[in-house]
Amino acid sequence: MIDEYSRDKAQQKALVISCYPWEWQEVLTVEGAIELQKSGHQVNYIDLSRYSEGFLKNLMRNTLMQARARRNEVLKSYGITISYPALEILKARFLFLFLKYTLPTYRFMLSSGWENIYPGLVDKTGDPQASAENYPKLTRKLAIQDFVFNKLLENCFEHADNYASTLIVNGRFPLNRNAASYFSKKTSVDYIEFGANREKFQIYSVSPHSMKNRRELFKNFFEKHQIPETKIESQGQDFFQNRKRFDNQANIDWTRKMKPEKLPLFASSKKTCTFFPTSEKEFAGVADIPSEEHFKNQFEALDSLIACLGDEWDIYVRRHPKADDSIKDPEKKLWTRFQNFSNVHLIPPDSSVDSYSLGMQSDLVAHYSSFIGPELIFAGHKNVVTLGPTMWEDLDQGRHIHSSIELKKYLSSPARPMAQEKILYVGYFMENFGTQFRAISWNAANGRWLFK
């Protein structure tokens, strides 16, 4: 994406905003700042990470945070200016703590102000958890933190419209999303996220969770690169075979809690369907706004699946595994209403049920933008449908379903299975997309980034 927009913004000022003290976010902002500077921009790197709670904890354990002087030296060597508004951050931290501990009714004060901070984005995605009414009640501390952070942005960037663009990590974390909302009113906003692995990045003009944006990237990737079919086949196969063991992009083994070939107890008289959702927080506030005739979210898609299949089917909902080992399940309440259906069986994130075996033993697999869909197609499953958009939708339009009408039509007359060789294009893209880091290297042995 950098190549496409850098020509129009060359020699213009750009902001790169660091909002969190997390090492992976600092890695991305550093590499993003260098890329923009190399593309001809005049880059100002703004470090607001010390506003966030958890700064001291991350300072103790993160290599790059301990090497802040080295980070500044590297950025300056590329001609990047660095700003750290220490006084404004300190004042914001004191205000945050004052409101957090002295105003127990503060959450109600924010209910009416929520839309001013996030103007319509959350509600329009249809996410039932992060609505204007629910957010302050669910997490008072975050509501206060975001409110004060917005004031910090107003104080530090009164003339943000002097910049041609702003680069922010990911966009879905509260402070990142807050910054994106603030700067989008004054200038263009781009997002940076990891590419194919921990030493590549990708810049998005809409959002890493915008399937329209990702579909455009996917299409442009193969139009730009003339890749031999043999290479697509070999590297595509490598990707799917390796991802089952370890996800290089997320740096996690999703199957670490699964017992190979373990299945729930199937009812022999019924057909089985497994629904694979994604993590709901991935889409809250940063996904594409669906059209009125399409599923608003994965819960509406599951409702439609239950209604269309009826009682003759058993439906297993294999919830997305958690990235960490905490006992918390913040999305549990969002799924509890599906327990009221006698033929719907919820499998929790930390279950030892083998997702791959479950999918392969199911008569029908439905997923909502989950990558296990392509994995099961690669494994040979002939009846996989997608209830929602994906980046590879153009390869398999007959089995990408966006509404109840389309789902009923498919169930009455299923489209032909996707050719297995087509899915290798998805694997090849995921194995290779993104721009290589210039200043930072990843040590897989100890899970650390270091400046080169």
How far apart CA 279 and CA 76 sit, in angstroms, is 38
**CA–CA gap between residue 111 and residue 451 (Å, rounded):** 43
How many other β-carbons are positioned within 10 Å of the β-carbon of residue 233?
Answer: 15
Burial of 438: CB neighbours in 10 Å, binned 0-12, 13-18, 19+:
middle
> What is the predicted pLDDT for the residue at 268?
76
Asked if the model's pLDDT at residue 112 lies above 50, the reply is no
Q: Which one has a higher pLDDT value, 251 or 71? A: 71
Q: What is the pLDDT of residue 136?
A: 43
User: So what's the pLDDT on residue 420?
Assistant: 85
pLDDT of residue 282: 55
More confident residue, 107 or 259: 259
Per-chain mean pLDDT for the chain: 84
- Please report which confidence band the pLDDT of residue 54 belongs to, taking 50, 70 and 90 as the band edges: low
Domain borders along the chain are 2-214+435-451, 259-322+329-422
Least confident of 91-105, 154-168, 346-360: 91-105
Instruction: Please give the class, per CATH, of domain 2-214+435-451.
Output: alpha beta
- pLDDT above 90 as % of the chain: 53
35: tokens are: 């890329």
pLDDT in tens, 155-177: 999 888 889 999 999 988 888 88
- What's the pLDDT score for residue 292? 81
Structure token pair of residue 79: 């001609």
Tens digit of each residue's pLDDT (9 = 90 or more) over 291-311: 888 998 889 999 999 999 999
- Amino acid present at 190: D
Q: What is the C-alpha to C-alpha distance for residues 95 and 82, in angstroms, rounded to an integer?
A: 25
Reported confidence tier of residue 240, pLDDT bands at 50, 70, 90: very high
Query: Is 259-322+329-422 in the same CATH topology as 2-214+435-451?
Result: yes
Q: Which two tokens stand for residue 372?
A: 């296990």
Amino acid at 108: F
pLDDT in tens, 370-381: 899 999 999 999
Q: pLDDT tens digit string along 11-20?
A: 589 999 999 9
- Helix ranges (H only) for 271-417 are 298-309, 332-335, 355-361, 372-378, 404-412
**Mode of pairing for the β-strands spanning 435-436 and 400-401:** unpaired
pLDDT > 60? residue 5 = no
The pLDDT value recorded for residue 247 is 86
- Indicate the residue type of 239: F
Give 402-442 pLDDT, tens digit per residue.
999 999 999 999 999 888 899 999 999 999 999 999 999 99
Here the tokens at position 196 are 């194919």
Check pLDDT > 60 for residue 80.
yes
Partners of residue 44 on adjacent β-strands: 15, 81
Return the pLDDT at 65. 57
Choose which CATH entry (3.40.50.2000, 3.30.450.20, 1.25.40.10, 3.40.50.300) describes domain 259-322+329-422: 3.40.50.2000
Percentage of the residues of the chain whose pLDDT score is greater than 70: 84
- pLDDT exceeds cutoff 60 at 107: no
- 64 pLDDT tier (thresholds 50, 70, 90): low
For 133-158, write each residue's pLDDT tens digit. Answer: 444 444 556 667 777 888 899 999 98
Confidence of residue 284 (pLDDT cuts 50, 70, 90): low
> For residue 141, what pLDDT is reported?
64
